[in-house]
Amino acid sequence: MTGERTNVAVLGTGGIGKRTLRVMEHKDELTPVAVCDSGGVAVDFDGVDTTDLVAADGGAVAAEGGSEVAALPDGRTTDDSVGDVIDVHERIDGVLMALPNIPHSFIPETVERFVDAGYEGVLVDVLKRSRVIDRMEEMEEELKGAGVTFVCGAGATPGFLTGAAAVAAQSFVEIEEIEIWWGVGLKSGYEGNVGTVREDIAHLDGYDLETVSEMSDDEIREVIDEHDGVLEFHDMEHADDRLLERAGVCDAADVKVGGILDVTQDKKPTTTTVRVTGTTFEGETATNTFQLDDDTSMAANVNGPALGYLRAGVFYNDNGIYGLHGPAEMMPRF
């Protein structure tokens, strides 16, 4: 696809959306033609001028209820910003849905709206929860019929690390266990990632997505303080399991996801590591390892892969490959 231009829409300008736009500045092939947040939309087929939005990343947060996108040169306020993007769907090649996973139905409903409008391009999300995959799989035939290529779970985990696991599995004829272990240091980045932290807290004992969705930002902060700013997670319901199973790499039950979130420092509290243990055709049991440098941020590891998968999705879509595709399926097959 080198040299070709891909028109991208970014839905949502929270931490992930803003950083996606920043990464996109380094990708000549990708042009942001539509950007929206809950109250505003900006559309420009010469490329939305996102300078102010990107500059605000990590800085001041927009006034409550205000729209940062509406304040852009091409921006305006709107009651239905996703609808306004859908209105121009014919000129969009790929849509990155950097939307909250709360409630669960938000992303599937957004997909449904694009399909109903006759969109025939690529949709990418950075969803996390295993159970959302079921909902997406129910839409598989509808997506195929519509000519939509949907890449689901294309962030860091699931996404980057799921794909790395599928590659690391290639030494083996049978997989025993895949362990995904992440570290995130989020001191200065905390304010820009409250949504992600909220979703993580739902994995702690005694919490779920319903309870955290009703908590105020102060209540979220209280939970963090109770843990002295360091939260450790085990057996997270991250969709890596379902996505690796879909790709035929292993059973979902053989995938373990956990990690440590530290909001007291920017340094990662632990090194993000994927360990794939399996048996070779000679009968040897061994463990291949993929490690991200501590100096790669969560943002870098979400947004680079999300755009990488988006471009792979555009290649699929251009060649008539539609339907649902997880990151581990867009790889050499196991």
CA atoms lying within 13 Å on the CB side of residue 216: 3
The CA-CA-CA angle for residues 159, 236, 327, to 5°, reads 15
Strands 40-43 and 75-77: antiparallel
Is there a contact between 287 and 275 (Cβ–Cβ < 8 Å)? yes
Is there binding between residue 244 and a copy of itself (CB under 8 A)?
no
Based on the number of CB atoms within 10 Å of its own CB, is 100 exposed (0-12), middle (13-18) or buried (19 or more)? middle
Among positions 31, 264, 270, 297, the unique one binding a copy of itself when judged by CB under 8 A: 297
Among positions 202, 212, 243, 330, the unique one binding a copy of itself when judged by CB under 8 A: 330
Residues contacting a copy of itself: total by CB under 8 A: 57
Is there a contact between 68 and 56 (Cβ–Cβ < 8 Å)? yes
Is there binding between residue 144 and a copy of itself (CB under 8 A)?
no
Q: Is 268 a catalytic residue?
A: no
Residue 155 has what DSSP assignment? B
Q: Is 199 a catalytic residue?
A: yes
Residues 172-201 that bind a copy of itself (CB under 8 A): 172-174
Q: Is 234 a catalytic residue?
A: no
Give the nearer residue to a copy of itself in terms of CB position, either 77 or 285.
285
Part in contact with a copy of itself (CB under 8 A); list of ranges 34-42, 231-239, 252-260, 284-292:
284-292
End-to-end CA distance of the chain: 26
CA atoms lying within 13 Å on the CB side of residue 46: 3
Q: Return the structure tokens found at 217.
A: 């930002």
DSSP per-residue string spanning 306-321: HHHHHHHHHHHHHTT-
Is there binding between residue 332 and a copy of itself (CB under 8 A)?
yes
Is there binding between residue 76 and a copy of itself (CB under 8 A)?
no
Instruction: Tell me the per-residue interface mask from 13 to 52 with a copy of itself, x by CB under 8 A, - otherwise.
Output: ------x--xx-xxx-------------------------
Is there a contact between 21 and 56 (Cβ–Cβ < 8 Å)? no
The CA-CA-CA angle for residues 104, 9, 90, to 5°, reads 105
Task: Report the nearest approach of a copy of itself to the CB of residue 45 (Å).
Answer: 22
Part in contact with a copy of itself (CB under 8 A); list of ranges 134-142, 170-178, 179-187, 197-205:
170-178
Interface ranges with a copy of itself (CB under 8 A): 1-2, 19, 22-23, 25-27, 154, 160, 163-164, 167-168, 170-174, 248, 280-282, 284-297, 299-301, 303-305, 308-309, 311-312, 315, 319-321, 327, 330-334
Catalytic residues: 128, 199, 203
